[in-house]
Structure 1
Amino acid sequence: MEFKRSFRTNTTDWQCVYPKVNSWSLDGSGDCCSWDGVKCDEVTGRVIALDLSSSCLSGTISPNTTLFRLVHLELLNLAFNCFNFSSIPYGFSNLLRLKYLNLSNSDFSGEIPHDISQLSKLISLDLGNSLFGTLHFPTMGNLVHNLTGLKELDLSYVSLLSPIPPMLANFSSLTSLKPGHCKLHGEFPVSIFQLPNLEVLHIGGNSNLSGFFPQLRWGSPLKSLHLYQTNFSGEVPTSIKNLSLLNELIAWDCYFSGLLPSSLGNLSHLTLLDLSKNDIQGQIPFSFANLAQISTLRLAYNNLSGDTLEWVVNLTKLADLDISGNQLSGRFPSSFENLKQLTWLNLSHNDLHGDISGTLWNLKNLLGLWLRSLNLNGVIDVNNIFKLENLIFLSLSFNNNPFTKSFINPTTSKLSFLSLDSCNLIEFPQFIEHLSKLVLLKLPNNIIRGTIPRSMWKDSKESLRYIDLSHNLFTGFENNQTNLPLPNLEYFDISSNLLETTLPVPPPSIKLYNISNNVLYGDIPTSICEGSSLTMLDMSNNALNGTLPPCLGSISALIFLNLARNKFDGMIPHIYPDGCALRMIDLSENQLRGIVPRSLGNCGMLEYLNLGDNQINDTFPFWLTELAFLKVIDLKSNKFHGPIEGHPSQLNFSSLHILDLSNNSFNGKLPSMLLQSCRTMKVIDGEGKLAYMNIHLIIDLSFTSINGTDMTYHMTLKNKGTEREYVKILDILVAIDLSSNKFEGFIPELIGDLKSLRMLNLSNNFLNGSIPSSLAYLTVLESLDLSLNNLVGEIPQQLASLTFLEVFDVSHNRLSGPIPRGTQFDTFGSNSFAMNEGLCGSPLPNKGTNVDNAPPPPSFTIDNEEESLFDLDWKIMLAGTGVGFLVGIVLGNLVIDKKSRWFLRCSKRMARRWNR
């Protein structure tokens, strides 16, 4: 009763089935052996079992819990309750008679008490948690070394951070072993497969755990085997036929290779086989026709080939078939007529061609049908689609699929998710108007012209959550009615069309709104701010005008804001509250005035700030140093003024990749303190994969999470003497542009510390003094522009060691002496050195004295860290080409010369190698 009083019961908890403790009472006989969940020994009357699973308990277990007084307990089950992430109490050593202990899925957290490892009589131990469990233990071996009599062990989602102990191979009684999602690492002991009684082995979700199947002598009792998301590799051996009782094998997202053994067809009890996302090759064995019990078969995203699916005919219990993402060829199969139980069918991304088989339309139980990218042709009779009365998901994307116009008005269709991306549609499919349960509609990348019909949502106003009409030729809305009568719409992408109208205002439920790349005009109404859940707003590349609504900065959920390349004027909104979630702001190429709002400092997660090409009149916003994640600052072509160097603030731009302050009126010395604080620019990352700067948005919609929406940065940079538009920007691009200001004084030697710089432009200032030799430390530099200054002295000979330098411009200075020889300097034209009367040597007419006999430039030591980015087998190809690394691999450059096209082809091959 004391234990009962320490908790409350919560019948609203989803895990709650029945509050067993409600039957506990001292009224009447007070015999606890009759209470729900309590079992007593029939001879002694002592409590030997306490089963309170799913009993709606809520609270925390006290360290002095009375449970530990029940020293005769042989079974304790507290699973599926809510203990509020409290610790499991220490004291189980009092219960040395325990045989069954189940504390699973009860919201415990912290370290598992060590005295549980002393319960040597345990037969079953279940500490498995849900996905959100936070239990941990130092090593798995220390937990189980005394529990040699275990038959069942479940540690799912317990953080162990250790190898699987080989001693488990001696636990001959084990029938079930489930250490899935435990952060295990190392090599899986292959001898565990050979345990004589093992029926269940679930080790999936341990991404650092490697292993392979044994070739001989392994676990004939095995019934369930989960290896998904591990580093298991090698071939599936012929000996798998020994697992005669196996009913499920789940091994997706591993590293299995080779051929599928025909012996898999001998597993007559197999009901589930999932080998998706491996590197398995060859044909699907025809012996699969013998898998008479199989209901789920998934072989997606391998390298399987073959031109027939006739083996499917006999699989009459098949409910889920996914063979997408392979190299299956031939005509679309006609062998589905016997698959009456089929509910999910995915044949996408293969080389099947021809018309859709008529047998598909007779599969009345189909819930999902995915036929993406199959080279299908012919006209699809819409009436056939509506024969599938239970169909919820349909994807025909990336096919040439026009539809018949005439059809019977459907009244019973359950179709909710329809994807017709890239189907060469030239008109809006009329049957969509009659889908009363439509939730998601994808029609991007077609050639649909004219206005968007309001009848599109005639029957689905309430249900529609997601609409993508991007990359078509829509010119407006029917009757020019831009209000969207869709009260529950959350995702609306109508970008890259020809919309010439005022801004359609989405409902307050909207979370992602993209209407960029159209011809919209007029202003932004303040009602846009009613969308308190708005996460992503992109109206860039239109002709919108007027002032920005002051409320824009107050949308608490907003992460991505892009209003670039419009005609907005007035002030930037000044209210950005504490906790502002913005990570990307692009207001470039407008006519905005005033100053940069100080309250932007409340946007602590901001990574990208582009205010370039406006009329902002302000001094440098030093408070930006408070934004620890800021990667890009672009303030170019405004009216910024005043000095930057010498400001008393402690600067810290530790994450900065790109700084563009060009075409302003900054003055004073070059901002040495600012540059010194750019820690990211001091390290060359030679190990990371090629990736683009972006924001990875996870947008929780009411029906799913859109995980993987990458919003890439977009900007214009002056690179190598040319304004270039970067639709995507590689993460390795590190650039500084301070050109066309009024900076004066010397170029500081510390600029050589910024070793990852690829672009440096200090041109058109009032700099004097000499060119620092420390620039030679910028070993990946591709573009260096020091033109239009007052620099004197010689060009340091050490700069000849910059083998990636494609553009070098020191024209219009007062330099003298010989031009360095060798490597890239032999590729620069005379324009790079013009208007420096004292310079001599090739390519200038003035060859100087004994220039041809001058010694080669001194060698320049490059440390391993600098060299590592290019330490691949194609490094020699890059050396001396005169073509910078970045030109080839930044996609979306609008200006690419002939040499760069050659390099682009080469570098794409390099990128594929890196990404393997």
Structure 2
Amino acid sequence: MALQLLTFILLFGSSLWLQSVTGRRILGNETDRLALLEFKKQIYDPYEALISWNDSIHFCNWVGITCGHRHQQRVISLDLDGKELGGIISPSIGNLTFLHYFYISNNSFHGKIPQEIGKLIRLQFISFFNNTLEGEIPNCFGNISSIRVISLGGNGLQGSIPKSLGQLTNLYYLTLDGNNLSGMFPVSLYNLSSLEIISLGKNQLQGNIPESLCQLTNLYYLDLDGNNLSGMVPVSLYNLSSLKVISLHQNKLSGMFPAALYNLSSLEYLSLGHNQLHGNLPRDIGLTLHPNLKVLSIESNLFSGRIPDLFSLVSVPSLKYVDLSHNQFNDILDGFSHNTCSGTNLKFLDLSYNKLSGMIPKYFGCLVGNLSVLNLEQNNLNGPIPDAYTKGCKLQIFKVNGNQLRGKLARSLENCKDMEVLDVGNNQLSGTFPFWLESLPQLRVLILQSNKFYGPITQKSKAADSHYPFPMLHVFDVSLNSFIGKLPLEYICQWQSMMDTDIPQLAHYISWQNTSFLGNFTYQVPLEIASKGINLEMEKIIETFTIINLSYNKFQGDISVSIGELKALMGLNLSANDLIGQIPSSLAQLSRLESLDLSRNRLSGEIPQQLGSLTFLEVLNLSQNHLIGMIPQGNQFETFSIASYEGNEGLCGFPLPKRCGVSKRALPLASTLEKQEEDSISLLDWRFVIAGYCSGVIIGVVIGQTMFWKIIGCFKLTSRMEKFKPKQRSKKSKRHGRVK
């Protein structure tokens, strides 16, 4: 009996102890579970990414939740990156006191960052990148002494950068780029010797870049681009021996760039573009740059004088990207003569918009072994384009627009099978149309504008060439040349891309991309083209942008109805040729057309009424032709001015003052009313005479004596009918005019 009693006591005591332990464990779990559920209440979850957040599953197994091993049942990681969530960050998040990692990047969270974040004293990594958060960065971040990474970029945060961040001695990664932060560069950050990455670009920071930045001895990434920083670039940056990236472009920096920084031993990326820096570059910069340098970008400044020795510059073994464009360099480009051509890894070279003269060096041909982008436009270069592009050429973008180049287009360019943009406009090149360019399967943009090309652009025989020419061409500009013959519409109708109306859901810009440790570097191709009646300098061109410009040539004949097959067209310019015949109604099939210019030809006939269905048409120019008839009404035609129709005397209707069907000799309104009144009286008299005449005939049959007087009545009838006839014709004419 005693043994049984002892057993009962032990079992009962164990049960109470287990209940006590379990209760404490459940209570311990409740804090985190309830905090998460409260956090979920404030979230908009259209795709049910958090459907597992319910009581049927232990919260440690919920999506995005990780609990600790040492502190079991406590949340140490909350990772909801890219779950397409919205809503606000609930203050209840401050109850997750064991949280180490907090990731909600790439969502649509809005509102302010709650002050309760400061309670997460164990937090090491926080990433709210690419949301729509607003308000100021809370000072409470300074309480999280363990934090190592803060990533708040790509939001709408405002105010100044809090000084309390200077207390975070373990912080090595700080990215606040892409917000609306203002004020000065935070002085308190100089205390953080552990900082390796500072990204404060694309904000509204002001003031100078302080010399004391050199105290951050472990810094290797400095991004301050896209602010309003002014003053000079501090020479003390040279003391940062670990610095690999300096990105200061698009500020208001001035003065001379410290030459010592070109020799910075660790430098791999130097971007100073879009500032007001001036002075000369070291002539031997190619010899002094560190061999690990990959990017040199100093475009859109005030640098002048002689250009660096290009051959030595492009021979830097790691150098891939060189942009010296939009400066004031005035050197002779062919002053560099090299008999040998050593290997180079250069992929991008932009010397455009300077004052360079001379000829394009022949050794440029050997650069294109790896070169993808060569931009020499808007200089004073002369001579021929070197015919030195060998098989395996990797050129994708070749631009020499706006120089004084002569001779024929280099035939060796057909070896560049990756070519997407070929722009040789505004030069003095000559020769017939380069049909051999058909062999470039990736060509999207071809600009031969304003040269001395001549001859017909005739359709090639399909029997001789079974493939479709220019399968990817979207921009075709041969304006301001001397091409002759019929419009090459039958030939152009073989270009598949001009007829393809399938618009991709996600259209891209014509660009060149390069992948590096900085991520994907993208160069979006700018073009200056004639579109919508004006010359446009487009910073970037979407792949689906499709235009044809054949203006200011010597094309003759009519416009073929086949033009209606080019359904992808957004712009069409056939102006200033010698075209005759009527405007084909098939133009109405170009439903995406935004600009149409047929001016300065000899077109005749009426404007097809079907063109009124072109609902995207923004610009229309039909001036200086021989068109007649009524201008189409409705839709976009209500928006065009008189200038669209000038020089066509036979046109009528809005917006012209001439109304359709109204004679130039039309009487004034008062006179017209008087004539209408006279007509009414004459009609009334005539009716009475007819009635009298009929009565007289009847009576004359019965009583012959009255015949004599009725004959006299007939003479009166005839007189009044003669008076009525011309007025009746006049009235019919007016009625016809109103109907028309």
Q: Partner residue of 1:679?
A: 496
1:485 aligned residue (282, 289, 292): 289
Q: How does 1:127-526 map to 2 (within 5 A)?
A: 233-235=48-50, 238-239=53-54, 242-246=57-61, 249=64, 268-305=73-110, 307=112, 309-326=114-131, 328=133, 331-336=136-141, 339-350=144-155, 356-372=161-177, 373=179, 375-378=181-184, 380-381=186-187, 384-397=188-201, 398-400=203-205, 402=207, 405=210, 407=212, 410=215, 413-426=217-230, 427-457=232-262, 461-477=264-280, 484-504=288-308, 505=310, 506=313, 507-524=316-333, 525=336
Amino acid at match of 2:64: L
* Distance in 2 separating the partners of 1:380 and 1:535: 37
Alignment check: 8 A CA contact 2:165 2:189 kept: no
Q: Which string of whole-angstrom CA distances, capped at 9 and with x for unpartnered residues, describes residues 350-395 of structure 1? A: 55555544553343333212233362534533xx545433322112
Partner SS state of residue 519, structure 2: strand
SS in 2 for 1:616: strand
Q: Distance in 2 between matches of 1:670 and 1:406?
A: 65
**1:768 maps onto 2:584 in alignment:** no
Residue of structure 2 aligned with 1:699, choices 511, 515, 538: 515
Q: Which amino acid aligns with 2:557?
A: G
- Aligned counterparts of 2:273 and 2:213: Cα–Cα separation in 1: 29
**Among residues 625, 630, 633, which one is paired with 1:813 in the alignment?**
625
Q: Which of 462, 469, 485 is 1:668 aligned to?
A: 485
Cα separation, partners in 2 of 1:375 and 1:832, compared to 1, 3 Å: closer
In the alignment, the residues of structure 2 paired with residue 520 and residue 294 of structure 1 have an alpha-carbon distance, to the nearest angstrom, of 56
- For 2:324, the aligned partner's letter is I
Match for 1:539 among 337, 351, 356? 351
Q: Residues 756 and 296 of structure 1: is their aligned pair in 2 closer, same or farther, counting only changes over 3 Å? A: same
Deviation per residue, 1:531-566 (Å, 9 max, x gap): 721112222211111111223233222112221111
Would the alpha carbon gap of residues 299 and 431 (structure 1) be closer, same or farther in structure 2, given more than 3 Å must change?
farther
Report SS of the residue matched to 1:233. coil
Residues 279/629 of structure 1: CA separation in 2 closer, same or farther (3 Å cut): same
Residue 800 (structure 1) aligns with: 612
CA contact (8 A) 1:246 1:269 kept: no
**1:757 equivalent in alignment to 2:573:** no
For 1:297, what is the secondary structure of its paired residue? strand
Runs of 5+ unmatched residues, structure 2 = 1-32, 34-44, 665-740
Change (3 A) 1:332 1:749: closer
Is the 2:303–2:329 Cα contact (8 Å) retained in structure 1? yes
Question: How far 1:609 moved relative to its partner?
Answer: 1.0
Residue type at the aligned position of 1:369: L
Q: Where is the helix percentage greater, Structure 1 or Structure 2? A: 2
1:632-781, aligned counterparts within 5 Å? 632-648=445-461, 650=465, 652-686=469-503, 688-689=505-506, 691=507, 693-700=509-516, 704=517, 706-707=519-520, 709-781=521-593
1:215-257 superposed Cα distances (whole Å, 9 cap, x missing partner):
xxx9xxxxxxxxxxx9953555652694244498279xxxxxx
Conservation of the 8 A alpha-carbon contact between 1:692 and 1:712 = no
Letter in 1 for 2:172: L
> For residues 362 and 825 of structure 1, what CA distance do their matches in structure 2 show?
66
Secondary structure of the residue that 1:620 maps to in structure 2?
A: coil
Matched to 2:305, the amino acid is T
Inter-partner Cα distance in structure 1 for 2:476 and 2:508 = 17
Q: Which amino acid aligns with 1:539?
A: L
Distance apart, 1:814 and its partner CA: 3.5
In the other structure, the counterpart of 2:725 is none
Relative to structure 1, the CA distance from residue 248 to residue 824 in structure 2 (aligned partners, 3 Å threshold; closer, same or farther) is: closer
Q: Which residue of 2 aligns with 1:558?
A: 371
Could you tell me whether the CA contact under 8 Å between 1:659 and 1:736 is conserved in 2?
A: yes
Q: What value does the CA root-mean-square deviation take over the aligned residues?
A: 3.4
**8 Å contact kept, 1:445–1:470:** yes
Question: Alignment partner of 1:653: what SS?
Answer: coil
Flag the 1:583–1:429 CA change in 2: closer, same or farther, 3 A.
Answer: same
Q: Distance in 1 between matches of 2:470 and 2:487?
A: 16
CA distance, structure 1, for counterparts of residue 213 and residue 498 of structure 2: 64
Could you state the TM-score of these two structures normalised by the residue count of structure 1? Answer: 0.60
Distance 1:409 1:371, change over 3 A: closer
Residue type at the aligned position of 1:600: L
What's 1:37 paired with?
none
Give, as a single letter, the amino acid of the residue that structure 2 aligns with 1:699.
T
Name which one, 1 or 2, has greater alpha-carbon Rg: 2
Question: Which residue number in structure 2 is paired with residue 13 of structure 1?
Answer: none
CA distance in 2, matches of 1:842, 1:286: 64
Partners of 1:845 and 1:623 in 2: CA distance:
51
Give the whole-Å Cα distance in 2 for the aligned partners of 1:765 and 1:741.
6
Asked if the contact 1:742/1:766 (under 8 Å) is kept, the reply is: yes
Q: What CA deviation, in whole Å up to 9, does each residue of 1:599-634 have, x standing for no partner?
A: 111111111111110000111010111111211111
Give the distance between the partners of 1:765 and 1:522, measured in 2 at CA: 40
How much has 1:754 moved relative to structure 2?
A: 0.5
1:785 to 574, 590, 597: 597
- The farther-off stretch of 397-406 and 465-474 is 397-406
Q: 1:337 to 1:594 in 2, by over 3 A?
A: same
Per the TM alignment, residue 827 of structure 1 is displaced from its structure 2 partner at its CA by: 4.1
Partner-residue secondary structure (3-state), 1:432: helix
Separation (CA, whole Å) in 2 of partners of 1:720 and 1:444: 33
- Partner-residue secondary structure (3-state), 1:438: coil
Could you tell me how far apart the structure 2 residues matched to 1:371 and 1:830 are? 53
Percent identity among equivalent residues? Answer: 36
SS where residue 271 of structure 1 aligns?
A: strand
Q: CA deviation at 1:683?
A: 2.6
